[in-house]
Structure 1
Amino acid sequence: MSKIAVVFHSGYGHTLRLAQSVAAGADARLVAIDADGNLPDGGWDILDEADAIIFGSPTYMGTVSWQFKKFADASSKAWFSQAWKDKVFAGFTNSATMNGDKLSTLHYLFTLAMQHSGIWVGTGLMPSNSKAAQRNDVNYVGSFSGAMAQSPSDASPDEMPAGDLETARLFGKRVAEVTARFKG
């Protein structure tokens, strides 16, 4: 069985809920970046041993949170030795508005994965873009690059759309399936 890690920062709990959904779909371990931008004890070891690493960050001001950026900068030690070369990578994000420049965040996560000489996996999900589409449909936000979610700024994490959480779960499942193909 593949070892998959979800490394993420969550400022208000919404990205945590997404990370939990992604991890459930991928049967992955969660590695939370704390409020100071640090990994928990053993976090780097989990990432080094993983076959796949899924990045997650809220979108703040058009990119990842500063806490995630601190982690990314610290990953230069793994980059220098190419310790994560040929791992499978993927990413997800959440913002308060429907667009919210989330694609900019996914591009950042993609670039980080490419710097580590990784293999990127997108959602593999068709968008819900017909007139009959409803907000709780899978991939309603319509992302192919990675999972995206939208949570109004005054909504609690418990109020996140079920479709966004299911999108995250299916995304995690896809990452696990692709990782198994590469590992096999």
Structure 2
Amino acid sequence: MSKVAIVYHSGFGHADVLAHDVAQGVTDSGATAALLRIEPGQADFSDFFEAMADADAIVFGSPTYMGTVSAPMKAFMDASAKVYFTKQWKDKLGAAFTVSGSPSGDKLNTLTSLAIFAAQHGMLWIGTGQNPGNNDDTSAATDVENRLGSFIGAMAQAANDSPEVTPKAGDRATARSLGARVARAAARWRRGADAPLPEAALVG
């Protein structure tokens, strides 16, 4: 069975909701999800790195603050230099999600930062695989998947409201879809990794 680690920080609970939705998508697709929540001021990530070493895929999650990842997520990213030098995450699958109060909120920069971070670790990136869900400017439906039109990762809007009522259904469904896609990709990746190479691939 493939394993997916979900490493995230949540400042006000909205990213926490999305992380659990990603985990639901993972488990619904037959994989194991490990939720690893970064706490404010956390400096020791040894347990995280141990769990991530055993994962086939890693999903990163962060609220977008001031146009980029939150400080606790950045602290985790900086601490990962210790595993960067051993290429511990090389060839693992990676994906990400983020949330901010406004529809844009410069969330793309957060997802781009996380994708570059994964690339530096030698990971392979998984996007949403979804078409934009809300290209009709006469509609503002909040139950549409990928309503914010993101390809690189799952985006959600918190609308500066309680995590009990937001993110809305469409954004949460997008997170579940991302988790499911990562889980399916991880299962294929694991099967491929375990399969013997054809003789032609071993020559040279």
TM-score > 0.5, shorter chain as reference: yes
Offset at 1:182?
1.1
Question: Matched residues in 2 for 1:73 and 1:10: separation?
Answer: 18
Offset at 1:43?
2.1
Question: Matched residues in 2 for 1:75 and 1:148: separation?
Answer: 24
Residue 32 of structure 1 corresponds to 37
- Asked if structure 2 preserves the Cα contact closer than 8 Å seen for 1:138 and 1:163, the reply is yes
One-letter code aligned to 1:98: P
- Asked if structure 2 preserves the Cα contact closer than 8 Å seen for 1:58 and 1:94, the reply is yes
The answer on 1:45 being equivalent to 2:50 is yes
With normalisation by structure 1, the TM-score equals 0.95
The answer on 1:137 being equivalent to 2:144 is yes
The answer on 1:22 being equivalent to 2:22 is yes
One-letter code aligned to 1:9: H
The answer on 1:75 being equivalent to 2:80 is yes
CA shift digits 1:150-178 (9 cap, x unpaired): 0112x100111011111100110001111
Listed as ranges, the gaps of 5+ residues in structure 1 are: none
Q: Select which of 140, 143, 164 maps to 1:158.
A: 164
Listed as ranges, the gaps of 5+ residues in structure 2 are: 28-32, 192-204
- Percent identity reads 48
Offset at 1:133?
5.8
One-letter code aligned to 1:56: G
Offset at 1:38?
4.1
Question: Matched residues in 1 for 2:38 and 2:187: separation?
Answer: 26
Aligned residues: 183
CA RMSD of aligned residues (A): 1.3
SS of equivalent to 2:17: helix
Q: Select which of 122, 129, 132 maps to 1:124.
A: 129
CA shift digits 1:32-88 (9 cap, x unpaired): 000113467732211111110000000000000010000000111111010110000
One-letter code aligned to 1:144: F
**Bigger Rg, which one:** 2
